[in-house]
Structure 1
Amino acid sequence: MNRDRLEQKAAQIALTIARSEAAARYWQARDKMETHTRAQELYDELKLKTNARMILEERLPKDHPKVMLAKLEEQEAESKLREIPVALQYQEAKDELNEMVQGVVQLLLRRLSTYVPVEPGPRQGCGKGHGGAGCDCGK
């Protein structure tokens, strides 16, 4: 199979995902999220708190008081955001779509591994916003 044929197959898979109910729910939830001022403020705050924590974790031990405080501030921002139904719907829709995409990738890797050696890449996280290899949700 040549490269053009592979690209056609990939485009078909991408279009199937883009036309899925999960993608439709994601776009609807995203539109609602973008028009909800308070949710956007809290989402932006959460991103800042998460980035600050990650920077501190790169520089300091995980049990350092500054890291612990940053984690607490991040959890508080996340908790406030979860109180807004629009934000919850957005996160759930985003998680559902991400799970679908990750499932397709895993399926492709499994199928491919029966024909050629495939090495798994770095773990990308659970899709629940917990991060990458450090995700501790058990999945």
Structure 2
Amino acid sequence: MDSNCKIILFLDDSETPLAELVAPTHFQLNTNKMVDGEHTLKIVSQDSSGLEGIEIIPFTVANGPSISVEGLQKNATVFGEVPIMINAYVNKGSETFFLQGSETPQSTPTWIWVIIMLVLIFGVFYLLNYFNPVDL
């Protein structure tokens, strides 16, 4: 009796198999030619008696430049003019790292402004209540 199963791989909704293999096996999925976005890998296994098992694995391809957006969130409700900052950069897994364009500048968070204001208010309060120019 043959214990090896036949494995058939399908990409997205294709009727044509991506590969037909015999288990156990290793397979390398090349996403370089695939469009960025959501995809599915459908794995169909068949034993020698014809019984089938199916596994569907959703995955996302992101070969293109990474995109970072500040100022607009998904499903946000907005009005008037909305300032939006968009940055895109490529990371090809090279040995060298290019700082130029690879980090998205961000606005200063509100909590930092609150801390700065509190420090300034305390400084003015201290000067008005405890500073005496006559003591100099």
- TM-score interval for Structure 1 and Structure 2 normalised by the shorter chain: under 0.3
TM-score, length basis structure 2: 0.22
* Higher alpha-carbon Rg: 2
Higher strand share: 2
Higher helix share: 1
TM-score, length basis structure 1: 0.21
